Amino acid sequence: MSQPTTTFDPNPPPARTLAYQSKLPKLPIPPLEETCQRYLTALKGLQDEAEHEKTERAVKEFLEGEGPKLQERLQTWAESKASYIEDFWYESYLSHSDPVVLALNPFFVLENDPTPDRGSQLPRAASLIVSSLGFVHDLRKGMLDPDTVRGTPLDMDQYTRLFGTARIPTARGCKMEVNAEAKHIVVLRRGQFYWFDALDDDDLPLLTEREVLRNLQAIVKDADKTPPTEVARTAIGVLSTENRKTWSSLRSALAKDRTNASCLQIVDESLFVVCLDDAVPVDLADLCSNFLCGTYDLQGGVQVGTCTNRWYDKLQIIVCADGAAGINFEHSGVDGHTVLRFAADVFTEGLMLLARSINPSAPTLFHAPLSPHSKSYKPPKKGAHNHSPSNSSSLYDTVPKKLEWRLTPTLRVGIRFAETRLSDLICQNDCQALEFRGYGKNFMTSHGFSPDAFVQMAFQAAYFGLYGRTECTYEPAMTKAFLHGRTEAIRTVQVESVEFTKTFFSEAPAAQKISALRKACERHVKLTKECGQGLGQDRHLYALYCLHQRQQSGNLDPSPDDPVPNGSLSNGHGSREPLPQIFADPGWPLLSTSILSTSNCGNPALRLFGFGPVAADGYGIGYIIKENGISVVASSKHLQTRRFLDTLQGYLLDIQRILVQLHLSANERPAPFVDHAGILRDSKTGRPINGHGYGHDEYVNGYEDTMPGYSFFDSGDVELLGGRKKSPYDNVGKILPLSDY
């Protein structure tokens, strides 16, 4: 994935953010025959011969029967749409009935702020809030650079749903509501809600960073009057973790009271939510769990973890007690690439504000001067448009206010059981992280590999090494080069990747293993390019499936506010057409169930990135490929998550050893020679060789000595390349010939 960021321009042209929006092409609907062939290719590595032959018959029947008719209907239906998949895609997310926590919402962990003054929680939170307000201002004023990839402009529509957006549960499903005029933010502390205005009507910030900090200090002081053991009793936020239909019912009960309805409106229409946690993560796993689902911590049988301090229906900026910060976002309207741009820009702005504190003339990333309605506003000495803060400051509520919820016995019971069900979910899931520092992008590219393809094959090898089989794997390819583009599914398991894993775990020579890896990576690169061009199989077939289902229900444009259907499907004439054979075949659910759901989301502003598994017996894997390392977050339900990451690390070290040894063998230096004067010289340069050892043999032997017999399954103990120091006792004692035993 590209690394989006804004470039500084002191005088940005107006409306540049959407400058290319009207010129973007629509996502193509591929020819049906090509899509079906891709579908068969994607399944070939996952099925045995008999299963694949059955799927081939189902596809043939589809192409000769219902398929062309559905294709024609889809083309006609899409003529009036910005994207043929968009409506179906939103419906798939918004009709999700399970809790969104752990199932839908991803998270980012930001790198630590290098500014000394922002090393603690509240200064870091204040900085992130002020930088976020600058981003909102520039976005709304059209001053942000449009996203591009290698000069190709990308769709910017998702940014309209990044702020002021809420996921609202209904009896039929969920809907998104967007407040494009949002001016205030909501702050959570110990499960209690506070709010204050942050922007004026011109989207200029009303508060300085110091004033935001003062507000946060007041919020913490008030919230911390509530003992930790009392928080869970009234933690309204845990209701957003419920099953969506249950949450819809409880929300309706909550909104019957006018005060509660007003509180809900304030939360829904806020720019974003800031969660101030009163806990410090003890390790990487705890850190990731905190941003994914909150922490589980019982005291005397009472939940006191951070899991009660969330609102999952909106964009959340989460800051721990030690200043560690991250983002948890509602995924329906935005993809990771969009939120990544926001996170990267906000992080960069923080660094530029640090520079400005040293040099007042230093530029900042955003162009949001302090509002003239701010109490701290100082009008220019030669300004013709001076505003009077004293007359206008009362228009805005910049002093934090606490939301007072009125809880009935029914709502208190709902909160109680929502918390216990959430606690169950947290206990059932395991989130672990690996910050691999052995090598990264530089090493992979130096050996001729695409970094993403290289890491994807590492996931395949690690899973095979742990379980002895290959399972369906998903990676999203961004399609934002098209109007309202989202993603296409890269199905990593191909014939070439299956051949690679089998070869790697065989007795094949090292060169053959690397050759198989190269073929698998080359296939993955080709597949990624095709999917980025909208030429995949998942989205097209899913659109045909959804169109068929809508035709059967007699409603081509359903709404979450529609009455709940009675469960019977018909085409409006009382009859129900059978499901096309391609969707009734076992191959369809096989390809739709991603045992390994993976996503690559990298930027220097990010430390870690992750999400929950999408299959009950699978892994959710978020990864960042850095210049000299790889960060991986894996989560699963009742699986050996830590062991999977340890196995992955073992593979990464093993494949490094093989590549280095092959490289050294191919570039082996001739043996040194002794000249007439008895001086040992390098055979290429003729220079004298001083000291012990020749270097090359020591380099190779260093790898061989650390791989005692079991190769892959022992490679987790290998010291990192270049990090091994020669022991002062290296030549002391006799080496035992273990092979004799």
Which residues are identified as catalytic?
Answer: 331
H or E, element range at 225: none
CB 129 within 8 A of CB 317: yes
DSSP state letters, 186-224: EEEETTEEEEEE-B-TTS-BSS-HHHHHHHHHHHHHHHT
Radius of gyration of the chain (CA): 29
Q: Is the dihedral of CA 523, 529, 533, 534 positive or negative?
A: positive
539: Cα separation from own chain's centroid: 20
Q: Which residues pair with 622 in a beta bridge?
A: 599, 633
Tokens 């695409």, residue located? 450
725 phi and psi angles, rounded to 5 deg? -100, 145
DSSP state letters, 565-622: P-S----SSS--PPPPHHHHSTHHHHHH--SEEEEE---TTEEEEE---SSTTSEEEE
Q: Helix 32-44 crosses helix 66-78 at what angle (to 10 degrees)?
A: 120
Instruction: Give the pair of three-digit tokens for residue 582.
Output: 């391609």
The Cα–Cα gap between 247 and 243 comes to: 6
DSSP state letters, 453-514: HHHHHHHHHHHHHHHSS---EEEEEE-TTSTT--EEEEE---HHHHHHHHHHTTT--HHHHH
H or E, element range at 360: none
59 phi and psi angles, rounded to 5 deg? -65, -40
The Cα–Cα gap between 549 and 146 comes to: 37
Instruction: Give the pair of three-digit tokens for residue 626.
Output: 């850095």
Where do the DSSP E strands lie in 239-352?
273-276, 298-299, 302-303, 316-319, 325-328
Instruction: Give the pair of three-digit tokens for residue 249.
Output: 């019912």
Write the single-letter amino acid at 35. Answer: T
Write the single-letter amino acid at 724. Answer: R
